[in-house]
Structure 1
């Protein structure tokens, strides 16, 4: 008899981290085409930090269970699913619902985790790895010998992005606070202190002709500066608005402003391009293509992890029940990599 119990973290509204609630219930039963994954690792990304403030641009109505991605083992399968999938360790990108001991997922949305890769290691490169890979290779098409600028080079996405860019043969300039510079230099990154240095001036010193790509999660003024730092033929990939995380008001407005700027920049008579990257783009109208691309790209990321092109940057591992501590640590700006949650 199955005596397992569902444990999940509920975000009831705009609350401080201590306001997150633990809820117990029955383990879900998979429907047709679905599987239940017993979570082994999930994590705190910037998306959940925004959701806690009600500022993630397309988050569901409160209350809901956050958790953008997870890694775990398939324990039960529904009708129409190959029964042999049970027992397989997989990763899934879910946007919400990952902060739970058991998660219901469409079987078509899971990606196998290679043998020899631990759950926490794999978790660090699910949403962060997919985001980094697709921005680097599907948007900016970075090649060996090019120079790229990565804002937040010590963060969850930034850590993966700089390593993938270096593996592609690019020269990497990365912004971060001074405490992270030694680690970035050890990776081969040229660090710039965004707290004490004039970032545009310093980048122009390092790349007088401009950079071939900028990856900007900051938004606001930073996105404008990033655009002007591009070399002819360069690409700006904007993928967030971290500078507005603690602002009041609409969470959609900063994104809409960015989208407007991107549209305007792309109408200018020059050879530069700008994108606003959304990992979910295309799912609504081309679900099968979206799934195929995500599976292929995450498989590439896992392969890069296994061969050592990228390393798992685990900032800390905490149990799900300590979600408030995990949230505060992730939001502190003092750690490098990803805060991982275990069951």
Structure 2
């Protein structure tokens, strides 16, 4: 690698429209001890980056910064003292920011090997989305034959979640716009229109005794309906706060109200459980354990992808230089799955 090598990265300068994203060139960074330089082959556009564009994602960095929640790529160099055999290895990592670039510095203990036969874009669809879906299903303590309701079943997390649910022998009801219903049926989902004013009644028609778990990425007022659809002993898992984006209220305040409601429900003597899934729980206080668990769970999900248990749902592929167009397309949610950038 020559000393004058350059990288390209996407910079979010502030609260801007998608065409306000900036492409910057800078010198190739050199990995420090404990780091690897990864040449990015695929990175994704998730709802997190869409929230960050509005300055509505909890804990996001100060502007300007490089977005990019996760990535798949090949190790090109490692820092002093690291195992040189890592060079040339395809890996995946959850970065939270920094993935929208041709190259990224990543902590070595955050890297998970990716099976060589997997397409990088396919693998990208299950990095943060697959781990999220896998960990939430495990936390819900479900058994084969039970029924779950997945809101946003056409989304990046939703499309992986419904496939893992079917793999585990669960009956899956999924909400999405009507245009996604054919694709969801092909995944074994019983689809319902999320805009149906009688949605709760439609769920009750399919599952008269309620559902054993609800997975809700929206939060907001609708979470009360989700909780009311639980069967005895059922579990509500909220894993997003999308309702806060256009609420006009402080994201932190909306989140506090949501957590307070979940806490209150857990105090009720009805046997239901309600909780908020936090992907990053423990990453500051138990970093080593957090990263071990992440590598283990991501390895499991990547292997299920390799086996064909999970079929990658790629909404579209764009080169990094067309990131503004890609972001506009992602925000339309017109196609199920994940929009992938290929630097």
Secondary structure of the structure 1 residue equivalent to 2:251: coil
Number of the residue aligned with 1:26: 27
Secondary structure of the structure 1 residue equivalent to 2:225: helix
Number of the residue aligned with 1:11: 12
How far apart, CA to CA, are the structure 1 residues paired with 2:305 and 2:33? 33
Aligned CA RMSD, in angstroms, stands at 1.1
Report 1:201-280 matches (<5 A). Answer: 201-280=201-280
**Pairwise CA distance, 1:244:** 2.9
Number of the residue aligned with 2:168: 168
Secondary structure of the structure 2 residue equivalent to 1:252: helix
- Per-residue CA distance 1:117-143 (angstroms, 9 max, x = gap): 110000000011011010011x11222
Number of the residue aligned with 2:334: 334
How far apart, CA to CA, are the structure 1 residues paired with 2:258 and 2:308? 35
Number of the residue aligned with 2:159: 159
Alignment TM-score, normalising by the size of structure 1:
0.98
Gaps of 5+ in 1: none
How far apart, CA to CA, are the structure 2 residues paired with 1:40 and 1:328? 21
How far apart, CA to CA, are the structure 1 residues paired with 2:98 and 2:247? 25
Moved more, 233-242 or 149-158: 233-242
**Pairwise CA distance, 1:254:** 2.2
- Per-residue CA distance 1:251-310 (angstroms, 9 max, x = gap): 222222211111111111121111101111011111111111111110110111111111
Number of the residue aligned with 1:106: 107
Number of the residue aligned with 1:312: 312
- Per-residue CA distance 1:126-180 (angstroms, 9 max, x = gap): 011011010011x112220110000011110000000000000000000011111
How far apart, CA to CA, are the structure 2 residues paired with 1:248 and 1:85? 47
Pair 1:78 & 2:79 matched: yes
Number of the residue aligned with 1:191: 191
How far apart, CA to CA, are the structure 2 residues paired with 1:71 and 1:4? 21
**Pairwise CA distance, 1:68:** 0.2
How far apart, CA to CA, are the structure 2 residues paired with 1:319 and 1:269? 53
- Per-residue CA distance 1:57-87 (angstroms, 9 max, x = gap): 1111111111000000000001231110000
Over 3 Å off, 4+ runs = none
Pair 1:285 & 2:285 matched: yes
How far apart, CA to CA, are the structure 1 residues paired with 2:178 and 2:227? 24
Contact 1:55/1:252 (8 A) holds in 2: no
How far apart, CA to CA, are the structure 2 residues paired with 1:254 and 1:41? 33
How far apart, CA to CA, are the structure 2 residues paired with 1:292 and 1:136? 19
- Per-residue CA distance 1:42-64 (angstroms, 9 max, x = gap): 01000000000000011111111
Contact 1:142/1:165 (8 A) holds in 2: no
How far apart, CA to CA, are the structure 1 residues paired with 2:280 and 2:212? 25
How many positions carry a matched residue from both structures? Answer: 342
Report 1:40-189 matches (<5 A). Answer: 40-137=41-138, 139-189=139-189
- Per-residue CA distance 1:94-130 (angstroms, 9 max, x = gap): 1011111111011000000012111000000001101
How far apart, CA to CA, are the structure 1 residues paired with 2:94 and 2:177? 30
**Pairwise CA distance, 1:197:** 4.7
**Pairwise CA distance, 1:249:** 4.1
